[in-house]
């Protein structure tokens, strides 16, 4: 008595050893599904890792903004001169903070007054700290934070606090479209 399986087995032994076309097609189909799954998973992984990298970059810039403004305004400076906007120097809110400090020095008065400014540069998308180097008028410019789309600062009425609002945005370098955006607020005490 011949079974179905033995029929195929005997038929196969009569031919040369190798794979049947059906077996090759089934193996190729399984291989294609596995390969497609690997490609989809790796593509998803790379997209997620790029988003994570951008998120960490923006988080780092946010931390730099908070700590730098805290350090510059609260610890180093004793008097806030003005908060101004580029277009309106008399405004109580804007995108620049001018600070005045009395720094100990070896001269007749025993101190030197220095004026510095924290301002937003919309072209470079950075928050800049401008400090005069010496009496020659040369300015030292330091970048406080990058990827800054907008920055505004205002006094909190009746307090010794300055409130700031910043929007960070990371753009796709190829098409100049925003990939990720974060808005942060903070306050810092001035003396």
Span 4-9, average pLDDT: 55
pTM beyond 0.75, yes or no: no
144, 164 Cβ separation under 8 angstroms: no
The sheet with strand 126-132 has its strands ordered as: 79-84, 96-104, 111-121, 126-132, 139-146
Residue 87, exposed/middle/buried by CB under 10 A (0-12, 13-18, 19+)? exposed
68, two tokens: 């730098």
Tell me: the pLDDT tens digits for 118-153?
Answer: 888 888 899 998 887 767 778 888 899 999 999 998
Give pLDDT tens digits for 75-123. Answer: 655 555 555 544 444 444 578 888 777 667 777 777 777 788 888 888 8
Going from the C-alpha of 53 to that of each of 46, 102, 126, 175, 181, the distances in angstroms are: 10, 42, 19, 19, 13
Burial of 153 (0-12, 13-18, 19+ CB in 10 A): buried
Q: Could you tell me where the DSSP H helices lie in 90-179?
A: none
pLDDT digit string, tens, across residues 15-63: 567 788 898 999 999 999 999 999 999 999 988 888 899 999 999 999 9
């Amino acid at each position: 008595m011949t079974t179905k399986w033995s029929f195929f087995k005997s038929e196969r032994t009569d031919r040369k050893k190798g794979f049947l076309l059906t077996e090759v097609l089934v193996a190729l189909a399984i291989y294609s599904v596995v390969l497609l799954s690997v490609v989809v998973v790796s593509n998803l992984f790379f997209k997620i890792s790029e988003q994570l990298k951008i998120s960490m970059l923006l988080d780092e810039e946010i931390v730099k903004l908070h700590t730098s403004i805290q350090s510059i305004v609260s610890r180093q400076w004793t008097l806030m001169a003005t908060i101004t906007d580029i277009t309106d120097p008399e405004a109580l809110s804007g995108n620049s903070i001018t600070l005045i400090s009395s720094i100990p020095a070896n001269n007749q008065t025993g101190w030197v007054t220095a004026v510095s400014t924290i301002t937003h540069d919309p072209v470079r998308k950075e928050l800049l700290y401008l400090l005069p180097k010496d009496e020659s008028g040369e300015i030292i410019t330091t970048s406080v934070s990058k990827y800054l789309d907008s920055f505004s600062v205002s006094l909190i009425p009746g307090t010794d606090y300055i409130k700031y609002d910043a929007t960070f945005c990371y753009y796709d370098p190829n098409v100049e479209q925003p990939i990720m955006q974060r808005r942060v607020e903070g306050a810092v005490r001035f003396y």
